[in-house]
Structure 1
């Protein structure tokens, strides 16, 4: 393959993330995680032990030649490749994601495939790109046959969940979440911004304005981090659903959260400096860390209360 060419300036960056509890009884250690995420023989898995155990696969590429989703119904075609990757946090939470860079314009006719392959993760429009309409279309989900980044992320997730290391014995019940994102370059006089929306029970959307020239991989890293922490919040909130706090069942429901989830909360741990301030908007509204700390206190209070013998229980034990 010819060497990668420099990527054209991005008019729109977009992607989708799947976040899933790895269905294994025992969390994978860092070496096993590298084996699990070894998607390509020619590139190594990225490993990190600070500030927590983290492994990320090399990118895989999927060729696309299809219409782009647009909110106004305009038909805009794009040709190129989508980058997909997977990450594992503390050997316990698996994420698969796909992202693409879309330039403002491309040739009026389709190029030979070789010219697209030298720009991995870039899909060129045939003609001009309407970035705002495509951003709205991406966040809205598009139509059948449109570019579907979620399907690419799902395909990678399915591939990993068939790995021989998976024993399908998770320590707690949870549901996966989806996060779609679209990032437009901020104008010179415009501050970067982030708008987070709970679109459905399991779907979130994020609209961003980022500094012009920000690499797609860095924006994808921010959105992966956001998706991870949103999944943690969602999963712990659901642990309380349908459980009476004055029954022993609360212990069986909450102890796995202490063992496997509470130590994973580390917002911005791997977000680049230019994008890290965008987390401040999430801390103000909806208040991610404030809600998390409230949940943690609630869990610890429940465990502490159930560790204290109640007078009723002592009476039952007295002959």
Structure 2
């Protein structure tokens, strides 16, 4: 606990039509990580130490491995440079995201029905665009010795599919695939037998993010030119889908860092809110390292939430490297960054 003076406050419950907040990828971890990782980068600069070295000295083994692989692939350290009114800088940030806590409430249920050389998986795990249904089909096919095309996945129908704690918090591989695997094994004994999978405490997933940005110091505009993400999420069950998860997380992270805004008034359309366009998206490389995780289905861990988490802090570190100004708020929109840069110029 941090030392703090005593405070007393009185609160009132008010009914309002203004939504105070809501769920978003990363579920608050990206915001907290932005504060922590930006502070680490600033401390490294104050101590005249390499920001990767500072993290390596304090990282657990799996995260340190991500940092070492990323440093070699990215060519770290790189020097900041000038291109006329543009400053180019490089940044790094890390992230960790757990999947389950081991609580009894963490569960997924499934059953498999066989029909000749075809199988149907009934699961409460819903694919919200993550590709989880493909992974679940792969798992059932592997257990039953069938082609993936012979496995049908029925999900998200409360009338026909079983209960599930939910697909949030990157649970689908650990819980959903765990239930699908056990249900497929049970189907060989008693087709239609319902199986509930409860995970014990599982290792977290780790990643390190390296970025290059170009900052127009006259306009305060930041462009992300390159991004490398090295991830340890155990054994990758679907490499193409996993790479897509990382790329999508990076794009959302760019939006969170530079563009997205949602004030309570004045923003009524997606254009006013702002989302990254194709022209805002850099070259994104996704590398996967690590060994199969003990106790996880086929050694695979969760990935869906993790990729967005380190991106804003890595961008902030690159902006600081390019300009000497450490961003402390998100989004780092041009007017905000321009004001900060103007202060350093004495404007």
Same fold flag (TM > 0.5)? no
Q: Identify, as 1 or 2, the structure richer in strand.
A: 1
TM-score, normalising length from structure 1? 0.30
TM-score by length of 2: 0.28
Higher RCO (C-alpha 8 Å, min separation 6): 2
